[in-house]
């Protein structure tokens, strides 16, 4: 389940290939990107943005595998 305190971020690598992460801070995402893309960090970092909600295609499931309804800006 998603923790309400976690913020949502999007980044691209390779170009136009979107990836999504949840993190308590932008700094934690930067550290993740530095570890994950050590040779391409300068290309990846400018694509990182905070997003208000998961994209429409994103599904959050409950323990029984059923899609949870979205409330507000989840």
> If we measure between CA atoms, which residue out of 73, 70, 69 comes closest to residue 7?
73
Q: To which H or E segment does residue 28 belong?
A: helix 26-36
pLDDT at 3: 64
pLDDT of residue 2 exceeding 60, the answer is no
Rounded percentage of the chain residues whose pLDDT exceeds 70: 88
* Distance (Å, whole) CA 70 – CA 41: 33
Tokens 């990107």, residue located: 33
Q: How far apart are CA 50 and CA 20, in angstroms?
A: 10
What residues are paired with 22 via a beta bridge?
Answer: 8
pTM given for the model: 0.76
Mean pLDDT of 49-53: 95
DSSP secondary structure code for residue 67 in this structure? B
pLDDT attached to residue 30:
97
pLDDT of residue 73: 46
């Amino acid at each position: 389940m998603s923790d309400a305190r976690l913020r949502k971020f999007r980044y691209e690598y390779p170009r136009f290939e979107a990836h999504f992460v949840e993190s308590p801070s932008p700094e934690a995402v930067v550290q993740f990107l530095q570890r994950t893309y050590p040779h391409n960090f300068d290309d990846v970092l400018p694509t990182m943005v905070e997003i208000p909600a998961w994209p429409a295609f994103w599904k959050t499931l409950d323990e029984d595998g059923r899609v949870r309804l979205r409330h507000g800006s989840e």
